[in-house]
Structure 1
Amino acid sequence: MLKSVLAAGAAAILALSAFPAASRDRYAERPPVMISPDLSAPWVMQLRDNRSPMAAKRQRSQASGPSLFGTPAPQQVKRTRQKVSPFRTASVPAAKPRAVRAPQVDPKYLPQMVDYDGGRKPGTIVIDTRDNFLYLVQEGGKARRYGVGTGKPGFEWAGTHKITSKRVWPDWRPPAQMIARERAKGRHLPAHVAGGPENPLGARALYLGSTLYRIHGTNQPWTIGGAVSSGCIRMRNEDVVDLYERVGVGTTVVVM
């Protein structure tokens, strides 16, 4: 009997001696919360505690779970930001533009100073429709020469006229006979084309007398040097602008 009492007492003493340790473990303070120095990081990355690896694992599992508001949790947002969208244009190499060669003009048709002894007064424009050159006669037996396009077979003409008006980026109104002629070929010309880069009269026009003929620019510079027009004198846009600045209304134009 005495032995039983002593054994029970010893067990009670052992239980009492173990209680403080268990209580200390249960009610001990949590480890301090560590704040990340990067305050721009998501909140879940700022709050790191030093609990056991198992507790940290549970925290990460809870943090990656679904949000109560139907939006991804912070870590999910971070993964979404890192994902590369299939629609990013930066990942598609830009197509290299194809080289387009500008139509070439024979260098002999580019503007140049030449000798002139044709007997015309300085300031006169002389157009040679056989060789497709326009000359602006200068002082001292010189002339400024430009390449031109002239009337195709059946549209050649010759004569002397004055420049009666000048236009910058002129409108084009094809004459009725031209519209009818082209319609017979299956090509329909508009009644009016506003001035601009697509206009066949180009950047400038010098109107000759009361005729339908003009000295004008072109949107087809590769035709310079040929018999290509319906009677007008065609120049590169650069050249007709230069000529336009050098002559005025009343200038004599001789077409040969």
Structure 2
Amino acid sequence: MCNRMIRKRKGAGVYLAAAVILTCYFAQTSDCYRLKKTKRREGRKDADTTNGFQEGTIVFGRAFKKGSGLDSHVTDGTKKSSSNAYEEDEGDYQADAAGWMSPTQVASPKDSSWMRMSPSLQCGSGQLKFRAVGPGASQFAVEQGNAPPMPLSKVPSTCGYSMQRNSHALVMLVPYDGCNMVQEGGRYVLPMRWQGIPLYLWCSKPASPPVSLPASLPASLPASIPAALLPHLLPHLLLPKQLPLIPL
């Protein structure tokens, strides 16, 4: 009887030790996975910067009209410590969708779902790149002015959009001359909707590079001139040099 109880205690001790070892192993594996996932995200951000993409601004929960001046609606939008700036305001958002969150209110389920997708915006020289991962990634639509918003699945191929998407992920490339892109001041703005909530993808216009002149131009001219002045200078710069007179 005593031997049987001792064996049972030993068996229980072995099971307990095995459980502790497995728990530690899975905890280390989970930490390692999170670390690798973080490194992958940082690597993607570094790659975006290397490829000429810069961080853009996402304005979430406001309704703008063209010409209203986006600067007056965004507070310090480019100096946020997070990957993008999210601005929310009571105005039109409260009329368009329920569950608006003010600074003194608890976040609604839609606000929480939006943030869980970790949306990001990168701005290139000729296009923007928008990414969202999580439930709800398939529920984006493009604003069309007075017409109803168009789901991304129905955007014509002639609009130039390039998308990789499923029910839980979206990666979208949109050229600045694509359909429904708005130019507001010095920025490109793509008005969209997510579950009926207005949002805007906002990229600053890239600076025009200076035009390099041929090396044969007079040394007194600068190596480069602003592109806006080039049409006025070219007729004078391209005149043939006066040939020397040859005595007969």
Scaled by the length of structure 2, what TM-score is found? 0.24
Scaled by the length of structure 1, what TM-score is found? 0.24
The structure having more radius of gyration, on CA atoms, is 1
